[in-house]
Amino acid sequence: MRTRTFFGLLFALIGMCLLSCNKAVTADVNGSEIAFSHSSLLRVVESDGYTVAEVRNPWGKGVLQRYILVPRDSAVPENVPEGRLLRVPLERVILFSGVHASLLEELGAVDAVSGVCDAKYMYSDPVRDGIAAGKITDCGSSLNVNGEKVVQVNPEAIFVLPYENGGYGKLENLPFTLVECADYMETSPLGCAEWMRFYGRLFGKAEESDSLFMHICSEYEHLREIANGPDVRPSLMCELKSSSAWYVPAGESTMGQLYKDAGADYLFSSYKGSGSVPLSYEVVLDKAADADIWLIKYNSPTDKSKSSLLEEFAGYGNFKPFKAGSLYGCNTHRNNIFEATSFHPERLLKELVAIFHPDLLTDYETEYYEKLR
């Protein structure tokens, strides 16, 4: 009986989706374009009765997805461009990332969260409380979504993370709009943060998100100006060896840009791309044996120390910052650095400036990194 009810609801939803989505017809995007100052992947155009939001393909040419935002209390205009129709503000969504949950909490839109995947990685208190109280549905792992629970939530949109040549498995067979959150593929920290202006428009928080982003930009630019005043830029290495490879952020990644803006000489800045680069231990040692500072992130129930690192891999002891005591670690198991800084790069920039140039921010105490003993 339960299975029959599930598929009955599924087929009914498919029919409803077809009736609403077929309103869209192919047309050019006309209207007033909203200026995005840092994002390279977003284009938003306001037209008469609707807004068009395009997500460009981070891995190639063209558009990854186009969304047509229509106020939920208005009729869908005739001849709107082809795209995924969303009635805004959204009132019922499923999130795959705690980063977006924290942003919605800050924008005052967290009540729209009706379901989540990977619940154990959600750090927003209202979301955690909602899960515990049964008001927010745990839809399982993002790698193995519980389709029946997704259908029970009946979301207006599901916020997913796109990957190159990747799909969404069983979600592709369900009649729900997937909002492809490619913010993490931006090549600048402020470009990633500017996605809050797109998300704000999905939840009726355009003014709030625009104002917040302006404040973030102002603080970020102020810190970057301070950090790039000194003539001396400490040389920087980062991360740890993982199995046979040592993954470091490419020079064009958001982290590579943050290191530069914080006044460091990032020793792997010559590597192109916006993701991570796998290197051998020998290459890292050749480039960074005499680095001034070493930053690592790790996820562990217990904090790492220099001795525990040597037990994992004796080669760590060959680097100058290990010997000199300028090795800093961030334990993401107990530290929500990703949720706190993805849309607030000014917070992480301030942390990095304090580490690279402690004389510039004498009253600041680090929140995410601590020196390993």
| pLDDT of 176 | 96
∠ CA 55-127-9, nearest 5°, is 70
366: Cβ contacts below 8 Å, ≥ 6 apart:
328, 351, 354, 355
Tell me, yes or no, if the two domains 2-215 and 231-371 fold the same way: yes
Do the strands 140-141 and 327-331 form a parallel or antiparallel pair, or are they unpaired? unpaired
DSSP state of 243: T
349: Cβ contacts below 8 Å, ≥ 6 apart:
189, 220, 223, 224, 227, 258, 261, 262
Helix (H) / strand (E) element for 265: namely strand 265-266
* One-letter amino acid for residue 60 of the chain: G
Across the 373 residues of the chain, what is the mean pLDDT of every consecutive 10-residue run? 42 39 47 95 96 95 96 94 97 97 98 97 95 97 94 98 89 94 94 98 98 98 94 96 95 94 97 91 98 97 97 98 98 92 98 96 94 96
User: For 231-371, CATH number?
Assistant: 3.40.50.1980
Round to whole Å and give the CA distance between 369 and 373. Answer: 13
DSSP letter string, 314-342:
GGGGGSHHHHHT-EEEEETTT--HHHHHS
| pLDDT of 28 | 62
Token pair, residue 9, equals: 């609801």
Round to whole Å and give the CA distance between 266 and 68. Answer: 41
Give the count of alpha carbons within 13 A of 149, CB side only. Answer: 18
19: Cβ contacts below 8 Å, ≥ 6 apart:
none
2-215 has which fold? Rossmann fold (3.40.50)
Query: Which whole-number Å values give the CA distances from 145 to 4, 131, 171, 232, in the listed order?
Result: 20, 16, 8, 50
Round to whole Å and give the CA distance between 80 and 53. Answer: 12
Domain ranges of the chain: 2-215, 231-371
